[in-house]
Amino acid sequence: MVLRRLITMVPLLLVLLLALILFGAGFAVKILWWVAIAVLILWLIGFVARPKGGSGRWYRW
């Protein structure tokens, strides 16, 4: 009886664990997209507002 219940619960727990992992990965990827957009905006602002004299580079490397 206990073994039968265990056999039915394990696949359910695995599906729930997989859903939790995929939700977490999706959330992390969404955050990374927002970070990438913010960095792109900062890069574009720096590219447009670079100094006129010197080498014209606004970054140090």
The predicted structure's pLDDT at residue 39: 92
Q: What's the distance, Cα to Cα, between the start and end of the chain in Å?
A: 68
Q: What are the helix (H) ranges across the chain?
A: 2-48
pLDDT of residue 57: 60
Residue 24 confidence (pLDDT): 82
Mean residue pLDDT of the chain comes to: 79
Contacts of 50 (CB under 8 A, 6+ apart): 56, 57, 58
Q: Model confidence over 20-48: pLDDT tens digits?
A: 888 888 888 888 889 999 999 988 887 77
DSSP code of 52? S
* Helix (H/G/I), strand (E/B), else coil: 53: coil
The pLDDT score that the predictor gives to residue 37 is: 93
